[in-house]
Amino acid sequence: MRTSALRDPLLAAAFLLAACSGGPSRVDVDPPSLRFGVRGQIAKVHATPRDRGGHPVPVNVCAWTSSDEKVATVKGFNDAEITAVGPGSATVRCKIGDAGAEVAVLVRVVSRVTVKPESVDLKVTDEPVPTPLAYEAFDDAGGPVSGRHALSRCADENVCRGDSVGQLWGVGAGDTTALVEVEGARSAPIKVHVVDARSADAKPKKVTGNPMEAYEKEYQRRQKEAAKQAAGKK
């Protein structure tokens, strides 16, 4: 996406003044390269025009362009924002007269998710217990990706249910399929077999609501507490 500073009268005047003064000798950009791992991720980049003596000349304003807007777009002036759009590489350029600079952009997104084993046996017990799934995520270049948020889902939620941390919970006896999703990429369906292993006293009680609600609330509470502690150490 090309952003034109000439639409703003003040910036147009800045361009005119820069042209009269001969324009900058070079432009420095910080950072000179960016790597994204998620579509929609945004990073800021700063351009510093400099004269022949190396002194900043902020009156000069960048006109930005992207070599591939399917990979990354850019908007702004000397302080700009670059947004990851899709997998691939692109060059984002700042141009001021005859001077310019480039930011190399690499975008890698999750494109494949695998789950092992390909079938899972679950039990409905008196106290709901989750079964973690062993999953792996890979980017569009085939490289492993770690630390990403995973969602699990069951095709028949009367048999099992997924959660927001990649686990399965038995709900009722039967067979169904489940999958794991990481940032829009989904695994192949895995077979799920559930048996009712509750005690005689518990079996008459139908499993209702969300059996993992309490677990997820506790998980979120711990995540928030860990974030607070980490912020306090800074």
- Domains (range + CATH), the chain: 5-107 (2.60.40.1080), 110-233 (2.60.40)
Helix %, strand %, coil % of the chain (to 5) = 15, 45, 40
Q: Mean pLDDT throughout 70-84?
A: 96
Distance in angstroms (rounded) separating the CA atoms of residues 48 and 232: 34
Question: What digits encode the pLDDT tens for the residues 163-214?
Answer: 988 999 999 999 999 999 998 899 999 999 999 988 877 766 665 555 656 5
| In contact, 129 and 197? CB cutoff 8 Å | no
Q: Report pTM.
A: 0.64
For residue 207, the 8-state DSSP code is: P
| Residue among 36, 37, 34, 39 nearest 91 (CA) | 34
| In contact, 135 and 114? CB cutoff 8 Å | yes
- Asked whether the predicted pLDDT for residue 21 surpasses 60, the reply is no
